[in-house]
Amino acid sequence: MPKSIIISEPIEKMHRQGDLDGLCGIYSIVNCMSLLVPNRFDPADLFEKLVRSFGKNTASVVINGMHFHHMTALLKLTCKYMAKLDIAVHFRRAFYVEPDTLEEFWTPLKMHFADHGDGSVLIAVSGIMSHWSCIKKVHDDSFEMADGGIKNIDRTKTTIKKASTRRPIVLLPKQAVFINLC
């Protein structure tokens, strides 16, 4: 019979769901689709299809997270999934050339968002965290996130260069994705 473990000191940090797995990319895609085409698909079904697409590599992805090539494969699968529901979805890399300034990053995101609405931008961040997320709203001074963990990203805390104490969140332009309905 297993012995009870008695912890005499409080646990310093509780983990939120997602802190210990690398599935934020899948959640970000499901959240984008939920905002772009609300109530027109089953989010749990899409989530399952995306997770199962990794096959024998699922454990590695859950533990190590997703890179851009994983996200591209998942987005292609999502487009096929949505096409079966007569929903035409298109995606493309937002930047093929690294912008020089934060403004050169922010402006095209705002423009795409203005044209295509909530959930049409998917971003990757690093620095204080490595994370994929769906942008719910783009403002001049912040992003509102469709994310269980991050609610807002304040522009004054971001950079597209190297993280610093003042700007600890690195936005990764070449991993940003524009999504739209056709």
Q: What is the pLDDT of residues 118-129, one digit of tens each?
A: 999 999 999 988
Q: How far apart are CA 168 and CA 106, in angstroms?
A: 17
Q: What percentage of residues in the chain have a pLDDT greater than 90?
A: 82
Coil, strand or helix at 95 = coil
- Which residue range(s) make up the domain with 143? 24-181
Structural domain includes residue 146: yes
Whether the Cβ atoms of residue 161 and residue 171 lie closer than 8 Å to each other: no
The domain tally of the chain equals: 1
CATH number, domain at 102?
Answer: 3.90.70.10
Element (H, E) at 166: none
Is 14 part of a structural domain of the chain? no
Question: What is the tens place of the pLDDT at every residue in 11-67?
Answer: 567 666 577 888 999 999 999 999 999 999 999 999 999 999 999 999 999 999 899
- The vertex-88 CA angle with 83 and 89, nearest 5°, equals 105
Instruction: Kindly state the tokens that stand for 44.
Output: 């749990």
10-19, 134-143, 150-159, 163-172: lowest mean pLDDT where?
Answer: 10-19
Longest Cα pair distance anywhere in the chain, in angstroms?
Answer: 62
What number of residues does the chain have?
182
Per-residue pLDDT tens digits for 81-98: 999 999 999 999 999 999
171, 125 contact by CB (below 8 A): yes
User: What amino acid is encoded at 39 in this protein?
Assistant: N
In a domain, 7, yes or no: no
Instruction: Note whether 155 and 141 are within 8 A (CB).
Output: yes
Q: Does residue 4 form part of some domain?
A: no
